[in-house]
Structure 1
Amino acid sequence: MAHVIFYEKPGCAGNALQKDLLRASGHEVDVRDILTEAWSSSSLRPYFGAKPVREWFNVSSPRIKSGEIDPDKVTPQQALVMMIVDPLLIRRPLMRIGDHCEAGFDTDTIDRWIGLKRTTGVVSDVCVRSIANDAF
């Protein structure tokens, strides 16, 4: 069992599914609000590891979907500043166990990291509401 510090957007249906899967897998989930956390560049940066800057962003963010921000044209420092000002841009969830941090919910990565119970449902870091809206 791992103690997972889990930063979410309150009310996010996708984050709810992710937390349920973590708990069903025997992990303790310490839920925190990603929108009200006092982020700094040094506190936010570790969550992204070696991922390309594009993968730091929440693809469901209205500013990304509208084309206002092109993640392929943003430097790491610019991305961090944008995310501190507008936390909705941050790929969710952010998770930390000890000194290890992750952004997003890739089930294979998380399974290798701490172990996950197998499920027949799809649990990812794509906004559930966005998937439903894209279907129309």
Structure 2
Amino acid sequence: MATVLFWEKPGCGTNARQIRALGSVGHQVIAKNLMTELWTTPTLLLFFGGSPIPSWFNPVAPRVTSGAVDPAAINAMDAIALMLEDRLLIRCPLIDAISLKCAGFDREPVLSLLGASPRRKLQGCTCTAALPPYKSE
């Protein structure tokens, strides 16, 4: 079984279900706080790989749903700069396991980690609007 580093938004019910799903198939999950992690451009970029820039964003982040940020109209460096400023924009969870990193719960390495276990609704944040905006200091 794998050790899974799991950056979550504290208090997110979906992240809690995701952690339980990984634990239920025997993985050791080390939960970390996405909002307080000291991210840098290079470390954050590692989680996005070659995925399209819009998929980097939390689709229910207040700045996305309000139209203040349009993930389809932004370049990679501007996207990362916005995410470093406002952590709610980052698609979560961020996962680091079995030498692979990803953003979201619907891609590798998550799919391999879960194997044939039942896949309930385990992607899509349900509580983002209740979280206060993160402001870097």
TM-score by length of 1: 0.87
> How many angstroms does 1:98 deviate by?
5.1
Does structure 1 residue 128 correspond to structure 2 residue 92?
no
Distance 1:47 1:107 in 2: 11
Overall identity of the aligned pairs, in %:
36
> How many angstroms does 1:86 deviate by?
0.6
Distance 1:44 1:108 in 2: 17
CA separation of 1:109 and 1:95: change in aligned 2, threshold 3 A: closer
Distance 1:34 1:129 in 2: 14
Matched with 2:46 is 46
Matched to 1:75, the amino acid is N
Does structure 1 residue 18 correspond to structure 2 residue 18?
yes
> How many angstroms does 1:89 deviate by?
0.3
Matched with 2:92 is 92
Q: Secondary structure at the match of 1:101?
A: strand
Matched to 1:100, the amino acid is L
Question: Deviation above 4 Å: which 4+ runs of structure 1?
Answer: none
Matched with 1:111 is 111
8 Å contact 1:44–1:80 — kept in the other structure?
yes
Does structure 1 residue 68 correspond to structure 2 residue 71?
no
Matched to 2:120, the amino acid is G
Question: What stretches of structure 2 of length at least 5 have no aligned partner?
Answer: 129-137
Distance 2:108 2:34 in 1: 23
> How many angstroms does 1:118 deviate by?
1.8
**Which structure shows the bigger proportion of residues in helix conformation?**
1
State the Cα deviation string for residues 18-63 of structure 1 (Å, max 9, x = none): 0010000110000000000011101100100110000000001000
Distance 1:7 1:129 in 2: 16
8 Å contact 1:21–1:117 — kept in the other structure?
no
Matched to 2:94, the amino acid is L
> How many angstroms does 1:111 deviate by?
2.3
Distance 2:119 2:13 in 1: 17
Distance 1:28 1:117 in 2: 18
Q: Secondary structure at the match of 2:35?
A: coil
Give the number of aligned pairs.
128
Q: Secondary structure at the match of 2:91?
A: coil
